[in-house]
Amino acid sequence: MSCQLHENLGSSSLLEAMATGLAVVATDVGATRTIVDETIGAVVPPTAKGIASAVVALCLDPARRVACGVEARARVEARYGPEGYVAKLLPVYGHVIPVK
């Protein structure tokens, strides 16, 4: 769960949970929707009722919970894994440090 009431940009706990293959329940604040959607869990209003409803729904649906966890892990690997990071970083270095 990522239950911030305000901006959560850079929330490492959210990405760490995803990397371990957990389904995610996150409040709809800041940049949450750029990371989380219904395929990896739930984005909910920042209220106790919204959070509780999503957690209960995932608890009652083990197949969905597992599927969301698998997708969460795949998303972290694709977006933030070493290969993806290097692929994004090399062009930046190429503009700063010319190849001789």
- 99 or 61, higher pLDDT: 61
Q: Are 7 and 29 in contact (CB under 8 A)?
A: yes
Please compute the mean of the pLDDT values over residues 68-82 and round it to a whole number: 93
60 φ, ψ (degrees, to nearest 5):
-85, -5
Domains and CATH numbers, the chain: 12-96 (3.40.50.2000)
pLDDT of residue 69: 98
pLDDT of residue 5: 62
β-strand partners of 24: 41
Read off the pLDDT band of 88 (50, 70, 90).
confident
Write down the pTM of the prediction. Answer: 0.78
